[in-house]
Amino acid sequence: MTTKEPTHDAPPETGSTDEPGRARILGLPWPWYAALAVIGLAAVYTGTLPDNIFGGLAISMIIGCGLFAIGDRTPALSAIGGGPLLCVFGPALAVYFGLVPDSFSTIIKDWFSGYGFVEILVASIIAGSILGMDRRFLIKAGGRFCAVIVIAFAVVVAIIGGIAAATGFGFRTAILEVTTPIMAGGISGGAIPLSQMYADAMGGSAEHYMSTIVPPIICANLLCICLASMYAALTRRRTQLFVGFNGHGQMLRIRATKEEVAAVTRKRPMTVSTLGTGLLFTGAIYLTGAMLEAAVPSIHLYAWVIVLTAALKLSSIVPAEVEESTTQWYEFVVKLWVPAALVGIGVSLIDIDKIAELASRPSFLAFTVATVLVTAVVAGTVGWLLKLYFVESSITAGLCMTDLGGSGDIATLGTTRRMHLLPFAQITSRLGGGMVLLAASGFLAFFYG
């Protein structure tokens, strides 16, 4: 077993108990939390919730922390994913059935994506988790992981295409209308450029193709979260179906040396000063990535953040105390804000109408499910053959290849309690998504050239 990366995320402290009979939610005795919940819900239903980043964050934290605690404390829910699953689907269903005012949905969407909160979260997790790794682990795991993405994509296309051809569904239909959109990296990074590519190659409007390929993407994201909850329930029992099955949040199946163990041992306590340093350093990496994206728009901002942080880690030029501070800032963000982020994902990205639309087309639904399942199994198997743990490889190179990209990665990893693996998930979404778009251009040239 390796210890070359941070240990897997402890669940946010939303349901801790400091003394018998005294349940606490994010450090508060439950009666005090209940009072805050009443205040938050009163603001929602009276229409006085401020439409700004503080209003959205406050209500999302109140709802998220409560749902997280309920999900983890309820045996039936805990067995299928617990708090993270309830944080995503509780708000999504409340919006779908009209149990909350429309203003609530608008404010949550504005806060989560419109005001850029998700970018704070993603940049902080990427920077902190990479700088918290041992550099030798980064070298050993990076090449293996990229190989998993490439091999898995080729194998999945061959399997799904073969099944589609054999069943009469059609290789071209399955690959262009289901598998490629699902694996292309979400809506903004995948569906939008794909729809334009389809319009250019086949004629018609990009809007027409968007309406065709978005339902499988949304449904696949939902399935990824459900499968993530199954992995979470299975691995929380420390199940080992075979050697190398479950890494408990660790990626590489190579035993660590004493030096590598010492390299990730925290040397300083978390303080306001260290958190401030971590925030500043993360912000500097993010701003540098934004400038590079402006210069080279074809490479996504998060990809630049990964490349910059990895380069800093490999070069060993960042002082150890700054690396530790950045890692501590990431840990702070994960423990405090992940439940709130999952609420934002449930409201912003889980579109029940799109899922119902796909359910009315059974053959497309079947190939959507098959794409996600085959990708997860193939990615886990290829990763295992390359000395990665099956579960961790299946999640990061499989489920994160078929979810909605950045926000989908957060939902998937949050559900599996492996948020520190986000850099690998983002490599999948960005590098893998770019590879899929390149392959799509080749498919279009072959079929319509």
Write down the pTM of the prediction: 0.81
What's the residue count for the chain? Answer: 449
Is residue 98's pLDDT more than 80?
yes
State mean pLDDT over 172-188: 89
pLDDT for 324-376, tens place per residue?
A: 999 999 989 988 898 898 898 888 877 888 888 888 889 999 999 999 999 99
Order of strands across the sheet with 17-19? 17-19, 22-25, 28-29
pLDDT tens for residues 132-156?
A: 888 887 788 888 999 999 999 999 9
Distance, CA of 2 to CA of 30 (rounded, Å): 38
- Residue 29: strand pairing partners: 24
- The answer to whether the CB of 59 falls within 8 A of the CB of 44 is yes
Kindly tell me if the per-residue pLDDT of 394 is higher than 50. Answer: yes
CA 335 to chain centroid: 15
pLDDT at 396 over 90: yes
- Return the C-alpha torsion angle 174, 411, 299, 155, nearest 10: -40
Which range among 27-41, 82-96, 158-172, 284-298 shows the weakest confidence by mean pLDDT? 82-96
Q: 43 pLDDT exceeds 90?
A: yes
List C-alpha distances in Å: 67 to 14, 339, 448.
Answer: 9, 8, 49
Identify the H or E element spanning 227.
helix 206-236
| Mean pLDDT of the residues in the chain | 86
Strand partners, 252: 388
What pLDDT score does 429 carry?
Answer: 85
pLDDT of residue 14: 55
User: In this predicted structure, what is the pLDDT of residue 59?
Assistant: 96
